[in-house]
Structure 1
Amino acid sequence: MKEGSITKQPGMEIGIYTLADLGPDPHTGKTISARQRVAEIIEAGKMADEAGLDVFGVGEHHRLDYAVSAPPVVLSALSQVTKQIKLTSATTVLNTVDPVRLFEDFATLDLLSNGRAEIIAGRGAFIESFPLFGYDMSQYDELFEENIELFRKLSTNEKVTWNGHFRSALREAQISPRPVQKNIPLWVGVGGTPESAARAGRLGTGLALAILGGDPLRFKPLVDIYREAASQAGFLPEDLKVGVTGHAFIGETTQQAKDEFFPYYSNYWGYLNSQRGGVGTRMSRAEFNQLSAPETALFVGSSQQIIEKILHQNELFGHQRFIAQMDIGGMPFKKVAENIERLATEVAPVVRRETSK
């Protein structure tokens, strides 16, 4: 294989991502080990690659109820058992990582994967990494701004001289290794704040929208803000990328998908709310039915229903990428594997065809 030779399929990129949560199966009450969870993530990545999906993402958490705290390590393992699929963090908590270390880790991943490394940067759902690594939450925005600016400088220069507020200065520092790609693709993950969307546009990074429910129309202003900020900063429209990330479950029929997914989805939000310090009340079936209605952003249904939702959002956002989180709520790997197959064989071909017209 030539350096950086990845087969680009026409139309929208389709992929999956995992946050590696360790939740109990709602039907059995059993929670798998971190070792098994990581092994299943590697197997899911292999399946996604062999099925022809475009992207595989791994999240970062620093808690005992999640199995992955070091995405570049897991992605490096995946790089050795996959051939084409792009490998991204989902997300890297950029505020609490040294940008030099981050660049070196992902440049190494890029070498191992022959040019397939990417980064989605953001705060993530939790704040444990701030005290863990000695950072102050009150400096969240300043840390993010400084770290992303330094990362971008490291990407374009083999030797860097730099001064900042939060780490030691660099004096003609050699930044190695250099990746296969000219620049490791960088996306900013945005959950709903206009300031984050504007920042992504101003910096010319990709915009990764986390749309977990509700009417997707409410996210269109964020895409507009992103593109306007990018235009004002001098970036060309064709250089901008928008991605949508969201929860998904695909069944033979929409009713079957809802019936199968509900116990896991309710379970997931129950323990997620507890982890965030709230009351771990499980979602009711009525609430779930409302969240998974045809006009909402929750991707639960038949393959046709998922296709229609993705294409509807594409009309709103004109996005180039969709990646789905499927393995939540203690879901057994067998069901995850079935979803990967359906996404790759029934959904992706239609979406790619329709979005390449």
Structure 2
Amino acid sequence: MELGIGMFGDVRIDEKTGYIQTPQQRLAEIIEEVKLMDEVGLDFFGIGEHHRPDYAVSSPEIVLAAAATVTKNIKLGSAVSVISSTDPVKLFQDFSMVDNLSNGRVELMAGRGSFIESFPLYGYDMKDYEALFDEKLKLLITLNNNEVINWRGNFRMPIHNQTIYPRPVQEQIPMWVAVGGTTSSVIRAGKLGLPIMFAIIGGDPANFMPLFEVYKQAYLDNGHDEAKMQIGVHMHSFFGDDNQKVADEYFPIYAAQMDRIGKSRNWPPYQRNQYDFGRSENGNLVIGDADLAIDRILKYQDMFGLTRFSAHMDVGAPKHTDMLKAIEIYGTKIAPKVKEALNK
């Protein structure tokens, strides 16, 4: 099983003083954090796409290009690219360039987007939400599988005998599909034989079991090789030396960001009892010391048959020094113990 980190590029916000961290500072921190992930031996890094004032990253491929120049081994991918509101041809070109910069370490994770700001920004109609994703995902797969492209769809002009340059270093760019709790999205990924990443950011993870089974059945029913099936989970995580101390110190940071997001979705204020349940045996938060993290990651691997665990570690933008400490713990204490246990 691969272990890595997904981030959205949250900027630090102090509600009391009105301080908002600049994207310039946060982006510099992210590159330093990815460099450390590579040094401690983590398997992958993913960065998300957002178009809001509380996030610093609107273009994952730009961050990945910068990270490619300071890393050597870690896989670099999006988490996610909102393909519904972008041009798949330009997206594939950009990721192909990052693949060249990184000597063949790039990945692309496609998603519909849980935030919808990119649709009006780039001139798309929300009524086409599902159709846009379906068509653009299929075009992206076509671009990845073929050197010469012939394509006709409903949302762009046809493509006739075009080759996309530059070509990636890898024969094909590894592509994942990120899903929440939508059954149709899970079935689509299974039918297409694409690796799938489940975002489990609320409730009891065991409740997702039926969706994992639906994916596996769709994958196998469509003739894909079971040995190549890849399944991951993306879960809010943070690590420290002291289990209770890291939980207590991270709560106000985490809750503040959940409340910022919740304002636009009519969520009630985030409560400490929600957080404590999330950290419990049946919760969705992997927040604590190395022992807690090792136990939870192994539990989910056994429960779901995971090939990848993605720790979403920058919710609310913890201090850069705390992020570096958490990354070090993950790479030097958690990941080795998880892999050791799985190899027995």
Displacement after TM superposition at 1:141 (Å): 1.5
The runs of 4+ residues in structure 1 deviating greater than 6 Å are: none
CA offsets per residue over residues 183-223 of structure 1, 9 Å max, x none?
A: 11111111111111111101111110111132111111111
In structure 2, C-alpha distance between the alignment counterparts of 1:236 and 1:284, rounded to whole Å: 44
Gaps of 5+ in 1: 1-11
Match of 2:50, SS state, is: coil
Matched, 1:168 2:157: yes
Match of 1:35, SS state, is: helix
In structure 2, C-alpha distance between the alignment counterparts of 1:304 and 1:221, rounded to whole Å: 28
Alignment of 1:33-52 (within 5 A): 33-52=22-41
Displacement after TM superposition at 1:295 (Å): 2.4
- Aligned residues of 1:214 and 1:298 also touching (Cα < 8 A): no
- Aligned residues of 1:93 and 1:124 also touching (Cα < 8 A): yes
Match of 2:89, SS state, is: helix
The aligned counterpart of 1:17 is 6
The aligned counterpart of 1:3 is none
In structure 1, C-alpha distance between the alignment counterparts of 2:70 and 2:201, rounded to whole Å: 30
Matched, 1:254 2:212: no
More deviation, 298-307/20-29: 20-29
More deviation, 125-134/41-50: 125-134
Query: Per the alignment, do residues 65 and 253 of structure 1 end up closer, same or farther by CA in structure 2, a change over 3 Å counting?
Result: closer
Alignment of 1:25-36 (within 5 A): 25=14, 30-36=19-25
The aligned counterpart of 1:289 is 276
Query: Per the alignment, do residues 28 and 45 of structure 1 end up closer, same or farther by CA in structure 2, a change over 3 Å counting?
Result: farther
Gaps of 5+ in 2: none
- Aligned residues of 1:186 and 1:205 also touching (Cα < 8 A): yes
Matched, 1:278 2:269: no
Query: Per the alignment, do residues 51 and 189 of structure 1 end up closer, same or farther by CA in structure 2, a change over 3 Å counting?
Result: same
Displacement after TM superposition at 1:265 (Å): 1.2
- Aligned residues of 2:61 and 2:78 also touching (Cα < 8 A): yes
- Aligned residues of 1:26 and 1:263 also touching (Cα < 8 A): no
The alignment's TM-score, normalised by the length of structure 2, stands at: 0.96
Alignment root-mean-square deviation, CA: 1.5
2:111 maps to which of 122, 129, 132: 122
The aligned counterpart of 2:295 is 308
The aligned counterpart of 1:184 is 173
Match of 1:245, SS state, is: strand
The aligned counterpart of 2:102 is 113
Instruction: Tell me the number of residue pairs that the alignment of Structure 1 and Structure 2 aligns.
Output: 344
The aligned counterpart of 1:321 is 308
CA offsets per residue over residues 253-279 of structure 1, 9 Å max, x none?
A: 3212211111111111111112x2436
Alignment of 1:75-90 (within 5 A): 75-90=64-79
Aligned residue identity for 2:321: K
CA offsets per residue over residues 55-88 of structure 1, 9 Å max, x none?
A: 1111101123211111111100100010000001
Alignment of 1:216-235 (within 5 A): 216-235=205-224
Alignment of 1:62-73 (within 5 A): 62-73=51-62
Match of 2:339, SS state, is: helix
Query: Per the alignment, do residues 244 and 28 of structure 1 end up closer, same or farther by CA in structure 2, a change over 3 Å counting?
Result: farther
- Aligned residues of 1:100 and 1:154 also touching (Cα < 8 A): yes
- Aligned residues of 1:208 and 1:244 also touching (Cα < 8 A): yes
The aligned counterpart of 1:347 is 334
1:103 maps to which of 77, 88, 92: 92
Aligned residue identity for 1:301: G
Matched, 1:136 2:125: yes
Query: Per the alignment, do residues 55 and 236 of structure 1 end up closer, same or farther by CA in structure 2, a change over 3 Å counting?
Result: same
Query: Per the alignment, do residues 323 and 25 of structure 1 end up closer, same or farther by CA in structure 2, a change over 3 Å counting?
Result: farther
The aligned counterpart of 2:227 is 238
In structure 2, C-alpha distance between the alignment counterparts of 1:303 and 1:25, rounded to whole Å: 29
Displacement after TM superposition at 1:28 (Å): 6.6
In structure 1, C-alpha distance between the alignment counterparts of 2:78 and 2:5, rounded to whole Å: 11
Query: Per the alignment, do residues 316 and 26 of structure 1 end up closer, same or farther by CA in structure 2, a change over 3 Å counting?
Result: farther
In structure 2, C-alpha distance between the alignment counterparts of 1:204 and 1:235, rounded to whole Å: 6
In structure 2, C-alpha distance between the alignment counterparts of 1:311 and 1:48, rounded to whole Å: 21
